[in-house]
Amino acid sequence: MSICDSHIHVVGDPAISPQVADRTYTAGEASLESLLDVANPQDVTRFVVVQPSFYGTDNTVTLEAVAALGVNGRGVAVIDPASVTPAELNALQAGGIAGLRINLYSTLAEQRGGSMQDSFGAVAAVAQRHGWHVEVIATAEVLAGAADLFAGSPVPVVIDHYGVHGGVMPGSDTGQALLGLLRRPHVWMKLSAPYRCSKDPLAVRPDPDWLAAILDAGAERCVWGSDWPHTAPHGHQTGGGVALPYRALAYRDVLEGARGALPAQQVDAILRRNPARLYGFAN
């Protein structure tokens, strides 16, 4: 069983695949082919393509990438539950979508406002009808504040990027609330993008205390993701007309940083077996 990268984004040529008008930067092209060139030599052949914020609810590029991956691809889409049509949902299901994403972390999401309480129930209801999970990206404080909401979820909840814990410590009230969530049998964690939790914008290894605490809470529900192509930090996102370079990270270093931080006895499960269960890949 090959390695699964459970969190990547594919970005089309901006001249062909328009990004939303109120975006906070312009993302440059990051093709599936360029990802496969760096990932396949590392025995990474399964991928979960996650809809980025700058495409809004237009999941076209994500669906095209999942289609190109065939049996080795799954997708996580973004919808507006108030306006999405049954035909659109059926197309997502036929197109290999496994989950719906709620983003309360990106600069664009912050500018638009909204709360987890406003978003989660309606998205979870749609996900339940289609056999999907709900993926959430938000800071540890926001996640902790929604702990009761997630605890009662009718579908699996997948938390992005180590819970974006930032300066929060595992032993704090917020940290304990997040870890308590991870002990629930329907809550999963993506071990991805440690640089989003670090002062080092190029960090490839997670905080060891947080990693140990997360694994203790629910190692059997952890999956790895590269977060390729590694979008720039929020502080650099200054306007939709600005094209920002991606972080200068080598795919191999990102994978090895994660693998080297994990206890040896848990590497195979987190890189291979756990994502096969979560996303329905063949064993």
Residue 107: predicted pLDDT: 43
Residue 38 has pLDDT above 90, yes or no: yes
List residues bridging with 106 in a β-sheet. none
Burial of 222 (0-12, 13-18, 19+ CB in 10 A): buried
pTM of the model: 0.94
Q: By the 8 A CB rule, do 73 and 47 touch?
A: yes
Share of the chain above pLDDT 70, in %: 93
- CB-based contacts of 182, cutoff 8 Å, min separation 6: 159, 189, 214, 217, 218, 221
Distance CA 126, CA 155 (A): 10
Number of C-beta neighbours around residue 86 at 10 A: 8
**234 band by pLDDT with thresholds 50, 70 and 90:** low
Residue 255 has pLDDT above 60, yes or no: yes
Report how far apart, in Å, the C-alpha atoms of 63 and of each of 32, 51, 73, 124, 259 are.
12, 9, 10, 20, 29
Distance CA 275, CA 133 (A): 13
Number of H-type helices and E-type strands within the chain: 12, 10
Q: By the 8 A CB rule, do 100 and 76 touch?
A: yes
Domains along the chain with CATH numbers: 3-278 (3.20.20.140)
From 28, 43, 52, 269, select the one nearest 160 (Cα to Cα): 52
| Lowest pLDDT segment from 8-12, 31-35, 104-108, 220-224 | 104-108
Residue 51 has pLDDT above 90, yes or no: yes
